[in-house]
Structure 1
Amino acid sequence: MKILNRFLLLFKSDNKENVDIEEQTPTLINNLINFFLFCIVFIEGVICLRSEDIFFAIPLLTLSLIFAFHFVYLSRNSMARGMQNSLFFFSSVTFLYFVVFGSSTGINIIWSALFPPFIISLMGMRRGSIFSLLFMALIAIIILIINNYGFIDLAKQYTLTEKIVFLAFYFLFFIATYAIHYTYTEIILKKERRVLDSQNFNKTQEELISKLSHQIRTPLSNITGIIDILEKTTLTDDQRDYINTIHASSNNLVNVVNNMVAASKTNFSQIPAEEVSFNLYSTINNTIKLFQDDQEKKKFSLSLSADIPTNLIGNSVKVKQIFLNLLNSLLKYNKSELKTIAIEVSRKEILPNKIVLKFRIISNTVVPIPKSELGEDAMHSSEVIHLNRSKYINLLDLGITQKIIEMDGNHIEISPDSVKTVIEFTASFKENNKSQSIENIKPPTKQSESYFKPSVNIADANILLVEDNFSNQQIIILYIKDEVRKIEVAFNGKEALDKFGKVKYDLILMDVQMPIMDGFKATEKIRQIEKSTGTHTPIIAVTANAFPEDKEKCLASGMDDYISKPFQPEDLIHKMKKHLS
């Protein structure tokens, strides 16, 4: 077995870059087909040449050279797009040649029965089966018409026994190959679904830990804030002792929350970060197959725009995870007798060495949300739909999916109405193009470095606090009121934008999770306004989201700094002074 394994390794692609398993398998199969066809045709040609049968020797040796060329060059280059079609054409010509003309060995009719295994392995189970049956019909016509009536003088004459044996062999090989491929595909799909379900379960736990962390940190921040303020007042010895005990206990609770978050990141982040070369169509199509194994009537359609490369470089496991969750949710809440899902992929942006794709999923799923929660005209109001995106995400159980998509700085939108639901999201990849040079791609410069910001004394600064929780507002104001005299408050991102358009602020303290408009969207809007005015206002995220990627997401949205709750007042004031100066 070790010798056989080493032999099979000879047929792996020489491509040194990481390639998804779905791309490695077809390449290995194509190489094996090339090799065996070369051996079959070459041996037949040599035998014919030795018997001085030039009519058979020259075509067979020529075909053997073509298969050798495929094996040496085309099939060892996994990015050769025309290799599969070329190999299919010459394989068909070879087998057809064997059927029509035969050869001096007398076993060519048996070689021709190997056409179904070759073509199904090469073209896939569905297309390969269709081509195999069409080829069988063509062979039957050749045997019954050309052979009987002698349309071609040099055509091989078959006896009735040979015809029966050949068709029986061919059909048995077809049935056996189809059964093997079907069984293998089912096993692989079930195994893949178990792996993705396991990852989904881990992500659910991580999301739960994240929510618990956020819910604990917000009141804990208020408790520590009040304790810090009380410590600065006149206290008796007993009172100070009590305050110190509460403070120590609060610090211990902060450590517990931090350890809980760290543990969740260690144990639950199961999606590998490795970027590999993969076929986007095959990846999505294989995920669709996971939902076609029951008795429900379902209709899927998948279309990719012509300007999307066949192979991309990115995280194929993450793509599968996103589509598994989306399709599972849409089908779960779809009460229609025929469930339809259309997937459209288009190219949104063309950037150096980067491809931003837009995925659009249209389903006849009606989101199960009571109209009483949104008002009578909710289902017809695009504004209400946008503002209640989080509610739709919760109802469709897409919180994990949202986290996976937004983790890379992308976004997801849901637009339901009375007959369908449309989900749109973006994702970034790299084009698998070795010739593309990245030397001239300059790293992006921070927007804040493009502007001159005069130093502002914190006592004279005009601060905008964006926070939807009244208690949190009061605590932060108590933290900084001795340092800052001018503080204005906004309860959400939209209110902050309205104030920003009317008043000049020296610094903004921005919460992240808020109704109407969150902190990320508000920051993006502010940065867009500043592009036209040539100014830059420092924005510090003040949030209970304490995961490492939360900080990365804040900075990626255009914020200048980040501090997580609970925090020491001195740390916040230090950051404010740093950005004001």
Structure 2
Amino acid sequence: MNLGVLKDRIFGTAPTVALIVCAVMATDYLVNIVLLNTPNAYTPVSTLLIALVVAAPLSYWLTSQRQRLERLRDDLSASLDAKQEAIEEADRRRGEAEEAERLYRLLSDNLTDHVALWSPKGERVYSSPSIQRITGYTLDEFMALPPQAMVSEADFARVQKLIRGLTPGGPPATADYECTRKDGTLIWLESAYSLLGDGSGILLVTSRDITERKQLELDIAKALELAETASAAKSDFLANMTHELRTPLTAIIGFAEVLRRSRGLSQTAARQVGHILDASNTLLSVVNDVLDFSRLEAGGLELDPAPFDPAAMASSCAALVEERAVAKGLVIKVKASKGLRPMNLDGPRLSQVLLNFLSNAVKFTAHGSITVALSQKVEGDAALLRGAVTDTGIGIAPEHLDNIFDRFSQADAAVSRRFGGTGLGLAISRRIVERMEGQIGVDSVEGRGSTFWFEVRGPLAELAAPEEEAAPLLDGEGGVRLLLVEDNAVNRELIKTMLEPFGVDVETANDGVAGVEAMRQGHFDLVLMDVQMPVMDGLTATREIRAMEGARGAATPIVAMTANVLPEQIANCLAAGMDDHLGKPINPTKLLETVARWSGRTHTA
């Protein structure tokens, strides 16, 4: 017992003891004095002592019992308060649970996604009411369906395999599949599968209707397929039209060149043949521009960097247009900075840009001069190359400068009518320079001339030593035996006309079958093979010739001579076993160089 309790009991006992003593003394007095009238029997001191002895323990016990009752009362009161708080807490939690259940039911009843729980035995434990909105089945109908009821066997097997790969508490796995609604319509569902991490083995599945998204994906895929089909049709059309245009141009340009070199023509006839040749070359230039631009539009431009000499490039381009310039009384000047160093860039493509600039300068300049200027700014192992062509021609009006590099664009309709052309040359040039991550532009004053320029950056390079000629030039004593496989009779006559003066014995075959038979029967130094031919095409004929020659260990050089000039078409020729490619229309100089390079040469098959 602690001191506080002892103190309470002691001080709590004193009033009780006093009260008992007083009661005993009063009783003793009343009995002995008042009622019995025996004063001698009245002994207050003794009575007081006896009363104190009796009253003190009794009072102490009564006080203890009172305090115990008070404690019991306090404990009961505290217990009642706790019970009341527990009741209130239970009511509060029951209210919260009821509100959560109400919200959960509200959420589950209005979910567009479907939520399901599956037991480890593959039985449905729960399914949200949204299943009816998705599948058309009521909740009871759906719960009674077998798991594979609405999907194909293949999709069901795929999903089961996916589920078997899940780990409890691990990341979910998703799958898309077709599902059959109650009314028989097909929809697409996307489901996410995950195993609960509480050890219960329960599978949680959430599914949503993705029919609209899937239809959009299918529409996009179909549109892409149509676009690819259209692109393929465009490519096929371009390849076919290129072939059909180049084939007659081969005869026109070839025979015009033969006639132009003939000494038996009158001056008038020679001039007219020159007009034919110029017009044919112009048409060929148009065909080449359309072909180049189509490849650029399709993203088919592949750069082929190699060491080249910028100064040699400028001189070569100027030489190509010099004859036309001189015919108009124009002077072409080439100014190259001293010490121009070779660079590793696509030289032929830059030549194409520079040649476009020069061709336009000749076309739009009536008198004066044309200047080609090249400069180079070396920056460590790289350099910035600037090329510019300045003319004294008609110039360009300020309002047309912004769109001068757009496709099919010339200064105006009057210029197009007066000078002709496709308006593609500058557009092609811009795409080439931009593909090289360079810049292209023009400075012009109407009536005073223009300066077209480009700037490209690239690494410096070293030029390889020039190779010695692999074969001597053809002459009248060449003695070369050549097989020409060509279905077009005019082209066969043209090639024979071009080559026979140089001692080339030309034997012809009009299709691939005849070409293969000729190779089986005789020996030739070189084969010129067309590609598109009836009965058997040139690619198939080449494969058969290579197979026939395989046992011999050596092969006759075969050069494709075709109007098929697209990069993929050239690659097909080389893949079939051909050694080289010569595009139509045939350039006489290139034809002679090709025959000289390959004739009499053999290589291991």
TM above 0.5, yes or no, is no
Higher share in helix:
1
Task: Name the structure where strand makes up a greater proportion of residues.
Answer: 2
**TM-score bin (small chain):** 0.3 to 0.5
